[in-house]
């Protein structure tokens, strides 16, 4: 009897159920559903209808490759991208300079997410934006405490629960007011309509491929699949990781597409939809208050989940590059204070979201280029090094994203 139990335990250790291996990509995928994404996709649909459907699809395909490379790095090496870069950048001034830009990206990310949560609380309960920002920051601190005290798995459960709320909140409108099928399919043909559509396309991609998601995913995979004798084989984990990333990007891509299609079918020609508040009012008027409330709840869940993941990424950036960890409260305040300050001085929330996406554009090359470079090195990944085609695809995605984000910066400057 005891030998049978032993064999069963041994088999379980060798081949755990696939569902147990899912989770890190779903947490990282929340970064693709933050308030910045909501604002970009909503504006694109309201102003250009179905024109930029293809941009969301292309961005999601590139996101799959980038997030898989990040997760693979964490699974194979047991280290995060910031940790590896912290070892490879030998010059102390260079390492601090790299940390400074990555920290700025983390703060800009948190700015968008905290403001999104504050706007949602204002829409739902009429709370002042400053109070909403503080509440969003406080709740995210509780979520981070779950991660630090109870481990990666419990944190994943909470974030995946919020992801389900986001999906329902942003997807309900498309069910009630389905988009035109022919127009949706026509939107898959790559094209633009003037400078404004190029700007929005770059904004969508800038809001989709976020540097902090790249840093975070490698750390999430590392935390979940520690290099121990009891873990499954690396090949098994990488196979499961591909499924994990596929599911996460399918969810994130579907929700982003639903937001754009909802705006394209309900909001064209409606004034004031260039802000989250205006979009909420237009949805309430066009579809009904229930769908508008679900939209606001989805926005709140988006802010809470994404700011928690953003703060986790910020902590990992500091620990990996500077070899220092600071208390959770201090880490949270580093990102929270700038967001609250911007709200207090009266900056328009939607303008602040757009500005945050511009700042994120600066950080894209610093995360993408090292990721593709490191995963293409046999000295780092050994037998699991990128295939040549994978590296070429990674380089192509990097060049395209950097070029589009450069266009975003130039067009934003010209329009200022």
What residue ranges do the domains of the chain occupy?
Answer: 25-264+271-415
**Mean pLDDT in residue range 253-274:** 85
**Alpha-carbon distance 293 to 291, whole Å?**
5
Q: For the packed helices 92-125 and 129-150, what is the interaxial angle rounded to 10 degrees?
A: 120
In this prediction, residue 2 has a pLDDT band, given cuts at 50, 70 and 90, of very low
Percent of the chain with pLDDT over 70: 89
pLDDT over 70 (residue 79): yes
pLDDT for residue 115: 87
In this prediction, residue 243 has a pLDDT band, given cuts at 50, 70 and 90, of very high
Q: Which residues contact 326 (CB under 8 A, 6 or more apart)?
A: 315, 318
User: 2 exposed, middle or buried (CB, 10 Å; 0-12, 13-18, 19+)?
Assistant: exposed
pLDDT for residue 193: 86
Task: Give the tokens for residue 17.
Answer: 């159920």
pLDDT over 70 (residue 385): yes
In this prediction, residue 85 has a pLDDT band, given cuts at 50, 70 and 90, of very high
Q: For the packed helices 92-125 and 35-48, what is the interaxial angle rounded to 10 degrees?
A: 70
Cα distance from N-terminal residue to C-terminal residue, the chain: 76
In this prediction, residue 34 has a pLDDT band, given cuts at 50, 70 and 90, of confident
Q: Indicate the helix (H) or strand (E) that contains 167.
A: helix 152-176
pLDDT for residue 200: 81
pLDDT for residue 224: 85
Q: Which residues contact 330 (CB under 8 A, 6 or more apart)?
A: none
Average pLDDT, the chain: 84
In this prediction, residue 207 has a pLDDT band, given cuts at 50, 70 and 90, of low
**Mean pLDDT in residue range 11-16:** 40
Identity of the highest mean pLDDT range in 115-124, 276-285, 334-343: 115-124
**Mean pLDDT in residue range 108-133:** 89
Q: What Cα–Cα distance (Å) separates residue 136 from each residue in 24, 69, 115, 116, 129?
A: 23, 31, 9, 9, 10
pLDDT over 50 (residue 304): yes
Looking at domain 25-264+271-415, its CATH architecture is Orthogonal Bundle (1.10)
pLDDT for residue 409: 66
DSSP per-residue codes, 207-219: HHS-HHHHHHHHH
pLDDT for residue 338: 81
Which pTM value belongs to this model? Answer: 0.87
Task: Give the tokens for residue 209.
Answer: 């491929």
DSSP state letter for 252: H
Distance, C-alpha 37 to centroid of its chain:
9
**Mean pLDDT in residue range 229-247:** 89
**Mean pLDDT in residue range 409-415:** 67
Nearest to 115 by CA among 293, 285, 286, 347: 347
Nearest to 113 by CA among 349, 364, 334, 372: 349
pLDDT over 70 (residue 323): yes
């Amino acid at each position: 009897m005891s030998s049978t139990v032993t064999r069963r335990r041994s088999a379980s250790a060798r081949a755990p159920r696939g569902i147990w291996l899912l989770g890190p990509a779903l947490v990282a995928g929340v970064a693709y559903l933050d308030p910045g994404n909501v604002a970009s996709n909503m504006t694109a649909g309201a102003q250009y209808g179905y024109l930029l459907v293809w941009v969301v699809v292309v961005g999601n395909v590139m996101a799959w490759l980038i997030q898989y490379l990040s997760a693979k790095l964490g699974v194979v090496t047991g280290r995060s991208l910031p940790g590896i870069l912290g070892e490879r950048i030998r010059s102390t001034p260079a390492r601090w300079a790299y940390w400074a830009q990555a920290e700025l990206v983390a703060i800009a990310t948190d700015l968008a997410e905290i403001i999104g949560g504050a706007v949602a609380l204002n829409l739902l309960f009429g709370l002042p934006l400053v109070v909403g920002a503080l509440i969003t920051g406080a709740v995210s601190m509780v979520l981070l405490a779950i991660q630090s005290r109870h481990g990666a798995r419990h944190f994943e459960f909470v974030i995946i629960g919020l992801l389900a709320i986001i999906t329902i909140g942003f997807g309900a409108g498309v069910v009630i007011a389905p988009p035109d099928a022919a127009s949706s399919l026509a939107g898959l043909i790559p094209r633009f309509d003037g400078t404004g559509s190029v700007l929005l396309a770059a904004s969508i991609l800038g809001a989709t491929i976020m540097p902090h998601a790249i840093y975070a995913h490698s750390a999430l995979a590392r935390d979940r699949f520690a290099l121990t004798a009891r873990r499954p084989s690396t090949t098994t984990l990488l196979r499961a990781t591909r499924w994990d990333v596929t599911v996460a990007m399918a969810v994130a891509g579907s929700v982003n597409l639903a937001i754009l299609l909802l705006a394209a079918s309900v909001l064209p020609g409606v004034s004031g939809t260039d802000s989250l508040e205006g979009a909420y009012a237009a949805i309430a008027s066009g579809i009904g208050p229930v769908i508008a409330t679900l939209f606001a709840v989805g926005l709140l869940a988006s802010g809470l989940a994404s700011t928690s993941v953003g703060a986790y990424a910020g902590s990992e950036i500091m620990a990996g590059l500077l070899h220092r960890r600071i208390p959770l409260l201090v880490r949270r305040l580093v990102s929270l204070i700038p967001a609250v300050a911007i709200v207090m001085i009266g900056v328009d929330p939607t303008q602040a979201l757009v500005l945050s996406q511009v700042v994120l554009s600066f950080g894209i090359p610093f995360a993408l280029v090292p990721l593709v470079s490191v995963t293409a090195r046999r000295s780092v990944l050994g037998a699991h090094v990128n295939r040549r085609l994978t590296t070429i695809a990674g380089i192509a995605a990097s060049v395209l994203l950097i070029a589009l984000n450069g266009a975003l910066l130039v067009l934003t400057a010209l329009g200022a």
